[in-house]
Structure 1
């Protein structure tokens, strides 16, 4: 039997090497327990964006954060307690908060009650309560670029995988996250039916968005810094939304093999590169962005993503 061409073997071999490294190499902070104790949060009513109701929900979430901070402090976790002190500050507007198991939270930037354009940010691997500042910074920068009449929602609504771990190379965490994202987007659409809603999906977050995409009532699904989605092409997402993709010139993700490898415990890797012609997305200019720089103030990528959210971007095929 003829051997498989070297060009087809190389991506699979590299992916296998990444799997091995993810299991064998220590991850920064891996020795630190992810599950810092926190109270069980109160059950939430469906989202209601009437101003008084919304303000009451924000106030309730601040109380949840303060309770989690006190628990973290008693546990001796100063780093978590310090992060939660900032999140509980006056003026912070969380729709929900859960401090357990790495943490989850949904924060609003801008006036959700009056927003005509709403962007929902879905983060990737390595973003938890201790590293929430990364997501907050991007959301704040995007709101500044969008200007009046917009709101940005930072949706840390799932247990994100750790960077360079087996969980970041499979779709398991994305499958867990998808139902919650679908529910949240549905509540946004019901509460703000006239608003233009866009889903912005960074890195592993693009796998989450792909799992949730079918049937979502959003104008755009934006994949950036993506390792793939688990789908062969944009049509396989089964969404009426415009699917966009972008990758910055300095993003290390360009060197990751965009393939899928079947192993005894499941499929590793996420298949077709979203910025490739084969995927069929509309490609936007991401400039020279690095993997964590797409929402950097003043960047080409931030302007491009903001134009998509505003509905003014010009589509072009890869």
Structure 2
């Protein structure tokens, strides 16, 4: 009797296109994981924040007072979360939260549960004529919040008077190279929250120019939220793709900009979309800086993946020009 053929490994029995995409994704993960460092820490408990009333449009002085009350509530929630983290033994989390609760910090929203959610304001939101909403990518969280905050501060300084930058950490970001970072699930969960937040900003500051800026995986979140959103521009930088083949598929009247720095490793991410289980896929499709996507390209200089908001950089200058409603240097 002839020997029975040995079954083929699952990966080899998959369609060739899927094998190529999966292999490329695994290579990308292997490169990216060492950059990301250690795995995300275990969940740290935090108390539920006190309920706050929705903000309403008001004259600048009245709105400023209401915002101060909201910031005070955020500070109290941070202090309580820091105390809980300390009692739990999460010293790194506790130290980060105490720094976030420091004098002069302004959090419109904070919830320390489930990894943490926050929205920090840099600048005078009540009087700002230009508002930038920063949406971060992978590995941004309460334990490693400092770089995100510093980027918001640097951008607001570049913009100058009558501007505000909101650092929106409104979702649980994936770890670089993880399965979650290669699929749109986290972005799909985050998009409704981002839409609600931006709509509230537009409601309380109806005359302000609002720009949505998504870095890395945050660009996937912005793309998922963009349809019909009351923003002047959507900026995708350091993006692995958006899950859409064309800028027109975002269904937004906003100007869509895309940029990538010369030394950004994300250029090596495979631009594929491969169906997995029903309703899910691997990869994010067309490269936003590709002419086929149809976004306006801005010059992002020669920096790396984490350097787009570095002081004095080409990318920072051009991002500020876009937020300001002016023409940036084109790529």
RMSD: 2.2
3-state SS, counterpart of residue 210 of structure 2 = strand
> Corresponding residue for 1:175?
188
> Corresponding residue for 1:17?
26
Q: Name the CA distance, whole Å, in 1 between partners of 2:109 and 2:247.
A: 31
Instruction: Say yes or no: does 1:283 pair with 2:294.
Output: no
TM score, norm. by length of structure 2:
0.88
Query: For residues 154-303 of structure 1, what are the structure 2 equivalents within 5 Å?
Result: 154-264=167-277, 266-303=280-317
> Which ranges in structure 1 are unaligned for 5 or more consecutive residues?
1-7
How many Å apart are 1:20 and its aligned residue? 7.7
> Corresponding residue for 2:51?
43
Q: Name the CA distance, whole Å, in 1 between partners of 2:35 and 2:213.
A: 30
Q: Return the match for 1:123 from 113, 136, 141.
A: 136
Q: Name the CA distance, whole Å, in 1 between partners of 2:80 and 2:233.
A: 37
- Deviation string, structure 1 residues 47-74 (Cα, Å, up to 9, x no partner): 3470111101101110000000000000
TM score, norm. by length of structure 1:
0.92
> Corresponding residue for 2:318?
304
Q: Verify the 8 A CA contact 1:229 1:272 in the aligned structure 2.
A: yes
Q: Verify the 8 A CA contact 2:299 2:328 in the aligned structure 1.
A: no
Q: Verify the 8 A CA contact 2:234 2:257 in the aligned structure 1.
A: yes
- Deviation string, structure 1 residues 174-195 (Cα, Å, up to 9, x no partner): 0110111000110000100000
How many Å apart are 1:209 and its aligned residue? 0.6
Q: Return the match for 2:71 from 43, 55, 58.
A: 58
Q: Return the match for 2:39 from 21, 25, 30.
A: 30
1:26–1:186 distance in 2 versus 1, CA, 3 Å: closer
1:197–1:20 distance in 2 versus 1, CA, 3 Å: closer
> Which ranges in structure 2 are unaligned for 5 or more consecutive residues?
1-16
Q: Name the CA distance, whole Å, in 1 between partners of 2:112 and 2:137.
A: 18
Name the count of aligned residue pairs: 308
Q: Verify the 8 A CA contact 2:318 2:328 in the aligned structure 1.
A: no
- Deviation string, structure 1 residues 105-157 (Cα, Å, up to 9, x no partner): 10000000000000000001100001111110110000010000100000001
> Corresponding residue for 1:5?
none
Q: Name the CA distance, whole Å, in 2 between partners of 1:187 and 1:236.
A: 24
Greater Cα shift, 35-44 or 102-111: 35-44
Q: Verify the 8 A CA contact 1:19 1:166 in the aligned structure 2.
A: no
How many Å apart are 1:163 and its aligned residue? 1.3
Q: Return the match for 1:85 from 98, 110, 123.
A: 98
Query: For residues 96-135 of structure 1, what are the structure 2 equivalents within 5 Å?
Result: 96-135=109-148
